[in-house]
Amino acid sequence: MPRYTYQSAPGLRVRTTNYAGTPQQFADALAEDCRADHGVDPAVRVWLGDGPVTEPPAATAR
């Protein structure tokens, strides 16, 4: 199962987790959940693996 580093919206903590889908599928799923979970508009950024968040994301979603 792929490992992803992600941030659901600016200012939220950067986290790492495993997800069975592609980076874009993961970003889209996070964007759907972000508003309900955190009360903020999503601006999801997903990186493949444990890579540094200074690199361009592998996927994004709103």
Question: What's this model's pTM, rounded to 2 decimal places?
Answer: 0.85
Q: Is the confidence at residue 58, as pLDDT, over 80?
A: yes
- Please, are residues 50 and 5 in contact by the beta-carbon 8 Å criterion? yes
Q: Once rounded to an integer, what is the mean pLDDT over residues 7-24?
A: 93
Q: Is the confidence at residue 36, as pLDDT, over 70?
A: no
Q: Can you tell me which residue has the tokens 């992803």? A: 4
What span, in angstroms and rounded, lies between the C-alpha atoms of 51 and 40? 25
Classify strands 15-18 and 3-7 as parallel, antiparallel or unpaired: antiparallel
Q: Is the confidence at residue 17, as pLDDT, over 90?
A: yes
Q: Is the confidence at residue 34, as pLDDT, over 90?
A: no
What is the pLDDT at residue 3? Answer: 96
- Please, are residues 5 and 53 in contact by the beta-carbon 8 Å criterion? yes
- Please choose, from the candidates 19, 2, 15, the residue with its C-alpha nearest in 3D space to the C-alpha of residue 44: 15
